[in-house]
Chain A
Amino acid sequence: MKQAMAWLALSLAWAGLPAHAQEARIVHWVETAPVEDTNSIALGYAVPVPVDTPLPFDGFRSYAGLHARHQDLANTTPWVHPVSVGTTRAGRTIWAYRMGDADLQTRTGSAEQAMLTNGGIHAREWQTPETVTGIMELLVEQQNDQFLYRYLLDNANIILIPVLNVDGFMQTQR
């Protein structure tokens, strides 16, 4: 009896959903598809598949690859300082990285200005975590340029959040 009531409740709930919710369907990204195939989105190029590699390449790194890269730069250089800035709904840590020297003062003794760049707000836009990670890599690579990058590292706090929406990003990378 209880089961029947549960089914009835579910059916009523389903019937009460707006039409567009009932029509929601899973569509797949594919390279090519016949025009009548409404369950696929043909991209016209090979579907990007993320790779678990920490180094940049002609493609997208997975979250594991990006996170390993961030943590490795934090562990092996004096310029990257990781901070947990929150937890996602699924319990994952949201990481921010403060780029700069250890102190919070400019060379002349005043307080350093801060700037924030975050990526990975929209789950399906995989390029922004790469871009923010690219900024981190650039600052580390150019640490000894004796010009702009070194000036920024010495005199500013550059806060980078490569992936803000960690759950969404990982959901689309499955």
Chain B
Amino acid sequence: MPRSTSSRLILCAVVSVLSLPVPAQSESNFRRPNWDRVLALQTAAMGDSGAQRDEWFRELREGDSEALLQSIMQFSAAGELASPVREQQLFLFTVALADFPAEQVPARLLEFLANYSPQTLVAHEESENNAVALFNIPAAARGVQYALARQQGEIHAAALLAAPADRWIDQYLAASPAAKAGFLDALEFASGAEIAGLDRKVQGLLSDQPALTTVAARTALAAVDVSSMRHVLESGSGPAVTAMLRAVTGTLATHDRAELLLASIESAPAQNAALAIALLSPGLQAVPQVISTLFDLLGDPELGSAAALALMGFDEAGIRSQLLLLSGSKSLAATRARMAIQLGESAAMQGAQQ
């Protein structure tokens, strides 16, 4: 067969396959509400004695995981009970698992609950044709899995605090997101010496390991160490930087806050310096060095708009007249001064209208 003919046949076959009607899969996957919300809740309340859950809790405490799993599997398939009755029991039991020690909750049980398909479907509060599970057992089970992993991470990290800081850091970096959160929880219980040791080590590693920003920010805050906070601003990245700056507002004295702000303007990357300007400068209008630095910054290509926004936020007559004085020329600083005045005027006008 000539090559061109076979190519045409292949093309023809492909086109024929593509033009076949697609089975209406979406219809079978789309689930409609099958219970009225109020009726389902009433049904669930009437059928709930709590005795079944007490029995499961007893089996859980006794460590009889196989019997417990079998009992729950049978109960979840018990056709003689209305689905809201069954699912409320399962849901309340699942949620309560988060309060048990992690080693007492069988992983297979949580896996079963996480893969359970809810049967009581009610209309979404804002869209009546869309079904939502009244008792979202899989979501609750995933939440419990997270909470227990976090709990285990916290216990492990608390024990590691006595070990060399390197080990704590290595294991933090290797941990799952849930366990990482547990590691951070453990810092609440660390002694001053343990925090100081960890802070020294983590600050030393931060430039090469930005993933340590959250730990570095937490230890800097716990140690109330301005030089460590400065280092986080210089080398850290991510949401932990913002969280640290917010927390600083309540913990540092005015002169320390001013020092941190001026240091970050001098040496932090623009993004972090702009955050520091936004979050540390409010309340520092009485520190002359801060005000003069912000005015000097107006001509800075990267940080000028952040400085303009901060100066506008002070809402002080002296600062406004200084901006007005500066705004007459054609420099970049003057452009920013005009912008600060305009933003301030439009904010004041909107405030008056409301």
Residues on B with beta carbons closer than 8 Å to the beta carbon of A44: 143, 146
Residues on A with beta carbons closer than 8 Å to the beta carbon of B238: 58
Question: Least Cβ distance of B81 to chain A in Å?
Answer: 22
Contact B339 A56 (CB under 8 A): no
Contact B242 A90 (CB under 8 A): no
- A91 in the interface (beta carbon within 8 A): yes
Interface-side segment among A66-74, A109-117, A127-135, A151-159? A66-74
A159, B243: Cα distance in complex, Å: 35
Residues on A with beta carbons closer than 8 Å to the beta carbon of B270: 55
- B306 in the interface (beta carbon within 8 A): yes
Picked from A58, A59, A72, the residue with its CB within 8 Å of the CB of B305 is: A72
Residues on A with beta carbons closer than 8 Å to the beta carbon of B271: 55-57
Contact A52 B305 (CB under 8 A): no
Using a Cβ–Cβ cut-off of 8 Å, how many residues does chain B contribute to the interface with A?
A: 41
Chain A's interface: helix, strand, loop or mixed, by majority?
A: loop
Binary CB contact string for chain A from 37 to 78 against chain B (1 if under 8 A, 0 otherwise)? 000000010100101111111110000110111011001100
A56, B270: Cα distance in complex, Å: 10
Residues on A with beta carbons closer than 8 Å to the beta carbon of B310: 52
CB-based nearest A residue for B332: A76
Question: Least Cβ distance of B87 to chain A in Å?
Answer: 14
Contact B343 A72 (CB under 8 A): no
Residues on B with beta carbons closer than 8 Å to the beta carbon of A58: 237-239, 241-242
- A105 in the interface (beta carbon within 8 A): no
Residues on B with beta carbons closer than 8 Å to the beta carbon of A76: 301, 332, 335
Question: Least Cβ distance of B147 to chain A in Å?
Answer: 9
- B109 in the interface (beta carbon within 8 A): no
Contact A54 B306 (CB under 8 A): yes
Question: Least Cβ distance of A171 to chain B in Å?
Answer: 11
Given A57-B275, A58-B237, A58-B238, are A68 and B95 neighbors across the interface (CB < 8 Å)? Answer: no
Max chain B CB contacts within 10 Å: which of A44, A67, A72? A72
Given A44-B143, A67-B343, are A52 and B313 neighbors across the interface (CB < 8 Å)? Answer: yes
Contact A64 B339 (CB under 8 A): no
Max chain B CB contacts within 10 Å: which of A35, A55, A72, A91? A55
CB-based nearest A residue for B94: A35
A130, B231: Cα distance in complex, Å: 28
Contact B339 A51 (CB under 8 A): no
Residues on B with beta carbons closer than 8 Å to the beta carbon of A93: 346
Given A58-B237, A58-B239, A59-B239, are A51 and B278 neighbors across the interface (CB < 8 Å)? Answer: yes
Given A58-B239, A76-B332, are A53 and B306 neighbors across the interface (CB < 8 Å)? Answer: yes
Binary CB contact string for chain B from 263 to 283 against chain A (1 if under 8 A, 0 otherwise)? 000000011101101110000
A71, B278: Cα distance in complex, Å: 17
Question: Least Cβ distance of A24 to chain B in Å?
Answer: 11
Picked from B95, B237, B275, the residue with its CB within 8 Å of the CB of A53 is: B275
15 contacts between A and B (CB under 8 A): A44-B146, A52-B309, A53-B275, A53-B306, A55-B270, A57-B242, A57-B271, A58-B237, A64-B347, A67-B343, A68-B306, A72-B308, A75-B336, A76-B335, A91-B349
Give me the interface of B with A, judged by CB distance under 8 Å: 95, 140, 143, 146, 237-239, 241-243, 246, 270-272, 274-275, 277-279, 301-302, 304-306, 308-310, 313, 332, 335-336, 338-339, 342-343, 346-347, 349-350, 353-354
Closest 3 CB pairs of A and B: A72-B305, A53-B278, A55-B274
Give me the interface of A with B, judged by CB distance under 8 Å: 35, 44, 46, 49, 51-59, 64-65, 67-69, 71-72, 75-76, 90-93
